[in-house]
Structure 1
Amino acid sequence: MNQDDFFALADDLAAARRGNEQLFCWLDGEDSDFVRLNGNRVRQAGHVRRRALHLTLIDGERQVEGDGELAGSPAVDRDRSRELLARLRDRLPHVPADPFLHVSTDPSASDRAVGESGPPTEIAIETLLAAAEGLDLVGIWASGAIRQGLVSSYGHRHWHQSQSFHLDWSAYLERDKAVKASYAGLTWEPEQLTRTVAEQRAQLALIARPPRDLAPGRYRAYLAPAAVEELLGLLAWRGFDLKSHRTSQTPLLRLVRGERAFAPAITLTEEFGRGLMPGFTAEGFVTPASVPLIEAGRYAQCLVDARDGREYGVPVNAAGGAPESLAMAAGEIADEAILTRLDTGLYIGNLWYSNWSDPNDCRLTGMTRFACFWVADGEIVAPIPVMRFDDSLYHLLGERFEGLTQRREQRLAADTYGGRSTASALLPGLLVGGIDLTL
């Protein structure tokens, strides 16, 4: 379904309203290629074509919502959508008033497309398989267009289309020894993929060395962008939404109160104008191009969705309370200087299984994963076994913070539950004077 077809369908539904009814129509669709790889060979390939229509019918303070799949035939889709609208109308008198119902009544319009069409899937996979010849590679490729649209009886007419690709894979040495890598973005650059695989080969050679056992303690460390993403992904849970702040449940409460601070180099921004997310919400609110979350180590603003905005009387600036187009400001460390600046300590490529150990102190715990190494005198010496860390972001991004890399990595979410995710992050690597390993 293209833009014109969706607008025509939504206009047809809006014309079928009765009395004081108001209607919001949201389209969520994709045309995606998926390829699963194992043993550096294609094991499964397929294409998903999905068109989902979400309707919100409002009368006064009451609202009901419903979803339906579209077939791609104008006549069939019109009949299905009218049937869905009729079912919602039957339910509407039986639901209670919603005290936090909040929609935009101001008409607005937009039409935005991001990303390039990219290479045919078979060309991208051939490039990966050729570069990874001889490796035991396991992974998944996803690519294609994601489309989202909004039309309302108040006069909203929005369309957003993003074109992206995502390669997520691991190369195994033996048993649980592997190096994880990913390449994702809006513009296809085969040379970058080839470089990433070459770096992966070099790390596989390093993890083949005898591991260095470490005693629990505090170690100087460099965290690659993938590891930084794990930390900030956990922080997104109640870290920035207005309700968690107003109910004092945010792990950043001490930062908000001015009792703690991050380093002045730490700046986090929700960049709607950069990412794959649409610049409008399902309730018709237009989001700003960017929302400063943390500026120069100090808390700046919350993310406010429609319901929280109604409850607390604050302007809406996001579709939800968790960042989905997060960016961290870059630093001054060049890629070639990372190991030199680290000197002796840990190179942490990935973290996982993270969770809060003491959210009141912004303290979290998790495990090292895949390619993590011991570095001595600016050179990688040996891999390290899986270790558990337990530390506070007030330390890692505060008093033990030493620097960020100049280069930032675009990280696209690989989630496909219910459809390909449009969440992304633009993150540098992080150098810290110490991270606490507990076992």
Structure 2
Amino acid sequence: MNNDKISALEVSFNQLAEILVEKKQQDEYFTFKLSWEQSQFTRFNHARVRQIGCVIDGWIELKLMYNQRSNYRRFPFVGNFELDWKQLYQALQELRQEISYLPLDPYLVLPVGNNNNNSHELYPGELLSEDSLVYSILSEVEELDFTGIYAGGVTTRGYADSCGQKHWFASDSFTLDYSIFNLEGQAVKGNFFGSRWHQDTYRKKIADSKRQLQLLCTSTRKVPRGKYRTYLAPAAVSELLMMLSWKGISEADIQQGNSSLAELYHQEKALSPIFYVKENLNLGLVPRFNQWGEIAAPELPIIEKGVLVNTLANSRTAKEYGKIPNGANASETLRSPEISPGTLTSEEILPQLDTGLYISNLHYLNWSDCSTGRITGMTRYACFWVESGKIVAPIENLRFDESLYCFWGKNLLDLTNFQEFIPEVDTYESRQLGGSLVPGMLVKDFTYTL
């Protein structure tokens, strides 16, 4: 992290916010937000560099609120005070002209913070240098058909409002999202994440992928549809968990009858007593402040002993439905979720699975029946048929269709005693923050339909 650069950005951002406060007219409110990154991107194919470059990009968003109405403008953040203020002042004038023509918003949330609620979080790391990046990654995979993308650098989020509240978050991090293919086109999927690059850890990660790739060399087995004892690795568990951010854990979705957890919310059903989920912002991977400058608790329990104890409720939802907000973001989605570990050791996974399916990854997930918590999707990459505690053969892709009330409920046998962090790797518009900390899980009677 270039501390001088980040400090200069923060100074410029704060100057803009302070002038906005001075220019604010009576009964006007505003929020002022920044998203900025300096990221190194390197794309690999066939263990060769196919694309490389550095991106410096950012935007600021001004939201004006007046007379129970709101409107906003978003534009590039240059980091030059004179240029940024010119854009910002023009946006302010345009918003003032437009806002009276907009409809009233009965649930508009106004900033109410003060200087005592300010926050300032910096998470510096040790990332690969531009000169060492390519060798560090390719030296371990030069004999493999390796493809993937490395994205690393500093990401920054800023917030200020008309009440004088300010928040600042900056973090160094990297993700390496990769696949390794064999001659038949089968692949092992992996990711490597952190704020500090450790070559030995990366080497072990690649060695594990190589072992899985070797297991793919035998003929694939077609598994008939049916119910099978199944081990789902952390990457697969993460895919299932993140479905709760879509028609799941949101208080608004529950109130509007759109949630997959409605039966859990109304205590008509329960999940397994060994199943725990929480939002863990102590990991420092995402800002604790939301779009209104509200700071969420470091940890928020969501499911404890299979019982729903909290939903994600932001201030807008709370205002509309008479609930208590808990610092959730505008979309009421999981930002840094964690599933608690169980007792299953890595050595016990195959013996405890005995005969069934070992699922490394899932994709194309969707709700097949949201009201009953049924999720459908496909197996992906290195998935295997296991007999008597030994991997026998890779499988052809299968479609599953199963209710979360089963695989996190009555059919959940155990969770691993270790967890893996599965990062967000999307780079649409900007590099995404966060991810999930999850164990693997062993379930019985997991339903495969095709």
Shorter-chain TM range is over 0.9
What is the rounded CA distance, in whole Å, between the counterparts of 2:263 and 2:124 in structure 1? 39
Aligned residues of 1:238 and 1:322 also touching (Cα < 8 A):
no
- Offset of residue 284 of structure 1: 2.1
SS at 1:2 equivalent: helix
- Offset of residue 224 of structure 1: 0.5
Aligned residues of 2:12 and 2:80 also touching (Cα < 8 A):
no
What is the rounded CA distance, in whole Å, between the counterparts of 2:50 and 2:304 in structure 1? 46
1:342 is aligned to 2:348: no
What is the rounded CA distance, in whole Å, between the counterparts of 1:353 and 1:127 in structure 2? 32
1:433 is aligned to 2:440: no
- Offset of residue 423 of structure 1: 2.8
Relative to structure 1, is the Cα distance of residues 115 and 255 closer, same or farther in structure 2, using a 3 angstrom cutoff?
Answer: farther
Of the candidates 128, 139, 142, which is equivalent to residue 133 of structure 1?
142
Q: Which residue number in structure 2 is paired with residue 295 of structure 1?
A: 304
- Offset of residue 152 of structure 1: 1.1
Q: Which residue number in structure 2 is paired with residue 181 of structure 1?
A: 190
1:308 is aligned to 2:317: yes
What is the rounded CA distance, in whole Å, between the counterparts of 1:437 and 1:275 in structure 2? 37
Q: Which residue number in structure 2 is paired with residue 368 of structure 1?
A: 379
Of the candidates 8, 18, 24, which is equivalent to residue 11 of structure 1?
18
Aligned residues of 2:271 and 2:306 also touching (Cα < 8 A):
yes
Q: Which residue number in structure 2 is paired with residue 145 of structure 1?
A: 154
Of the candidates 37, 56, 61, which is equivalent to residue 30 of structure 1?
37
Relative to structure 1, is the Cα distance of residues 208 and 331 closer, same or farther in structure 2, using a 3 angstrom cutoff?
Answer: same
What is the rounded CA distance, in whole Å, between the counterparts of 1:357 and 1:417 in structure 2? 27
Of the candidates 404, 408, 415, which is equivalent to residue 404 of structure 1?
415
Letter in 1 for 2:32: C
Aligned residues of 1:170 and 1:179 also touching (Cα < 8 A):
yes
Aligned residues of 1:389 and 1:436 also touching (Cα < 8 A):
yes
Of the candidates 206, 211, 215, which is equivalent to residue 220 of structure 2?
211
Letter in 2 for 1:95: L
Cα deviations by residue, 1:343-389 (Å, 9 ceiling, x for unpaired): 22111000111111121221111111000001122221110111111
- Offset of residue 105 of structure 1: 0.9
1:284 is aligned to 2:282: no
What is the rounded CA distance, in whole Å, between the counterparts of 1:306 and 1:90 in structure 2? 27
What is the rounded CA distance, in whole Å, between the counterparts of 2:231 and 2:113 in structure 1? 48
Q: Which residue number in structure 2 is paired with residue 264 of structure 1?
A: 273
What is the rounded CA distance, in whole Å, between the counterparts of 1:22 and 1:253 in structure 2? 36
Task: Output aligned runs, 1:21-420, within 5 Å.
Answer: 21-107=28-114, 108-317=117-326, 318-319=328-329, 320-420=331-431
Aligned residues of 1:128 and 1:194 also touching (Cα < 8 A):
no
Aligned residues of 1:32 and 1:49 also touching (Cα < 8 A):
yes
Letter in 1 for 2:40: D
Aligned residues of 1:224 and 1:350 also touching (Cα < 8 A):
yes
What is the rounded CA distance, in whole Å, between the counterparts of 1:388 and 1:176 in structure 2? 20
TM-score between the two structures when normalised by the length of structure 1? 0.97
- Offset of residue 213 of structure 1: 2.1
Aligned residues of 1:275 and 1:424 also touching (Cα < 8 A):
no
Letter in 2 for 1:343: D
Q: Percentage identity across aligned positions? A: 35
Relative to structure 1, is the Cα distance of residues 29 and 300 closer, same or farther in structure 2, using a 3 angstrom cutoff?
Answer: same
Structure 1 alignment gaps of length 5 or more: none
Aligned residues of 1:33 and 1:47 also touching (Cα < 8 A):
yes
Aligned residues of 1:400 and 1:433 also touching (Cα < 8 A):
yes
SS at 1:248 equivalent: coil
What is the rounded CA distance, in whole Å, between the counterparts of 2:338 and 2:439 in structure 1? 9
- Offset of residue 60 of structure 1: 2.8
Aligned residues of 1:238 and 1:321 also touching (Cα < 8 A):
no
Relative to structure 1, is the Cα distance of residues 257 and 19 closer, same or farther in structure 2, using a 3 angstrom cutoff?
Answer: closer
- Offset of residue 336 of structure 1: 2.2
- Runs of 4+ with deviation above 6 angstroms: none
- Offset of residue 121 of structure 1: 4.2
What is the rounded CA distance, in whole Å, between the counterparts of 1:176 and 1:86 in structure 2? 57
SS at 2:51 equivalent: strand
What is the rounded CA distance, in whole Å, between the counterparts of 1:398 and 1:335 in structure 2? 22
Aligned residues of 2:12 and 2:79 also touching (Cα < 8 A):
no
Relative to structure 1, is the Cα distance of residues 121 and 375 closer, same or farther in structure 2, using a 3 angstrom cutoff?
Answer: farther
Worse overlay, 422-431 or 14-23: 14-23
SS at 1:15 equivalent: helix
Cα deviations by residue, 1:259-309 (Å, 9 ceiling, x for unpaired): 221111111111123242211122121211122111110011110123212
Letter in 2 for 1:159: W
RMSD of Structure 2 on Structure 1 (CA)? 1.4
Worse overlay, 241-250 or 362-371: 241-250
